Amino acid sequence: MNELRRVGIYTSGGDAPGMNACVRAVTRTLQVEELEIVGIRRGYAGMIEGDFVEVDGQSVSNILQKGGTILKSARSKRFQTPEGRAVAAEQLRKADIDALVGIGGDGTLRGAHLMRQEHGTRIVGCPGTIDNNLFGTDETIGFDTALNTAIENIDRIRDTADAHDRLFLVEVMGADSGFIALNCAIGGGAEMVLIPEFESDVLHIKNRIHSLMSAQSRSSIVVVAEGEGLGGAPAIADALGSDRAFDHIDIRVCILGHTQRGGPPSARDRVLASRLGTGAVKALLDGFDDVMVGVVDGDVKYTPLSEVTSRKKDINYELLKLAQMLS
Ligand code: F6P
């Protein structure tokens, strides 16, 4: 294997608070190791176009606390084709890039694994997504911040819901997983939570809401994960609204959407991102590649990308029981 000399770094897919902290950690660790650093802008789209910038320890000053990503991000359709990946590999060769550190979610890490398989690119992934849906790490970069944002908004919604005795269906992000929903239901004291991992039943939802709202005549908050099977908060509101039994209940929908992706990273995300960024460079220096760096039970661990991309991270059913019991 060639000696490590010049490393490319990119962020890809949905941005997540803490990505900048990770870029900073990767860059500064590479600098300490006296390696060259190339920033690849706009993820795989920029890799295909050769949109590269020289980066050094100084250029990552004052970004630790910022949301978004200074390297920009994108979802590239062209990279999903073998032709697109071949162009990306050629651009890396032309720029003398020996290895990559990629920060992103499941799509980003699948792309990284394909680059390794098809073009032998040395590559280490860092889990950066608010969804927390990656096997091989207890938490992903951005999850804690998104969760705090969602809970803060639920607290605000609770005030107005309570003032009007309304039912609010609050939809949160998470793609096809319910980590954000489940945790913010517990942290926000929601009366009910609907997640993709647990099949929802309209009749059960109606019965539960009906008894909550009529017996106690108070506000209720139902947290709905965007990937839940009934079509999300608007579809559930329609199903309730078209039932005469709910005529007396004032229903509102609030979709938190991309508010969960922005904002300064929490302290926890900054520390996690810093550990994982440095861990990624250490992995390359120790001869590892085709792995994702994660924190498992408090320690930095490497998990093969083949496993990360083929295994599903399980929801903690104890948390689901807790959310139900405390509501
Ligand atoms: O993966 C992060 C995420 O925010 C998901 O929770 C959500 O489903 C998706 O990205 C939204 O993607 P976009 O910003 O491309 O609309």
Quick: pLDDT tens for 8-17: 999 999 999 9
* Residue 85 Rama label (left phi>0; alpha psi -120 to 50; beta): alpha
Measured between alpha carbons, how far is residue 312 from residues 18, 132, 180, 308, 315 in Å? 23, 11, 16, 8, 9
Hey, whose CA ends up nearest to atom 14 of ligand 1? 14
Exposed, middle or buried by CB within 10 Å (0-12, 13-18, 19+), for 61?
A: exposed
pTM for the model stands at 0.97
Look at residue 215 and tell me whether its pLDDT is greater than 80. Answer: no
First-residue to last-residue Cα distance in the chain? 56
Look at residue 80 and tell me whether its pLDDT is greater than 90. Answer: yes
Percent of the residues in the chain that have a pLDDT greater than 90, as a whole number? 94
Active-site residue, 243 included? no
Look at residue 275 and tell me whether its pLDDT is greater than 90. Answer: yes
Please tell me the distance between residue 172's alpha carbon and the centre of ligand 1 in angstroms: 11
Topology agreement, domain 6-142+265-308 and domain 143-262: yes
Hey, whose CA ends up nearest to atom 4 of ligand 1? 14
Could you tell me the residue ranges of all domains in the chain?
6-142+265-308, 143-262
Give the residues surrounding ligand 1 with Cβ less than 6 Å away: 14, 75, 105, 129-131, 173-175, 226, 261
Hey, whose CA ends up nearest to atom 2 of ligand 1? 14
Look at residue 287 and tell me whether its pLDDT is greater than 80. Answer: yes
The pLDDT, as a whole number, for residue 217 is 59
The pLDDT, as a whole number, for residue 15 is 98
The domain 143-262 having CATH identifier 3.40.50.460: the answer here is yes
The pLDDT, as a whole number, for residue 3 is 85
Look at residue 24 and tell me whether its pLDDT is greater than 90. Answer: yes
Residues belonging to the chain: 327
- Give 213's pLDDT tier (boundaries 50, 70, 90): confident
Pick the CATH number of 6-142+265-308 from 3.30.70.270, 3.40.50.450, 3.10.20.600, 1.20.58.220: 3.40.50.450
Look at residue 218 and tell me whether its pLDDT is greater than 80. Answer: no
- Catalytic pick among 98, 131, 269, 289: 131
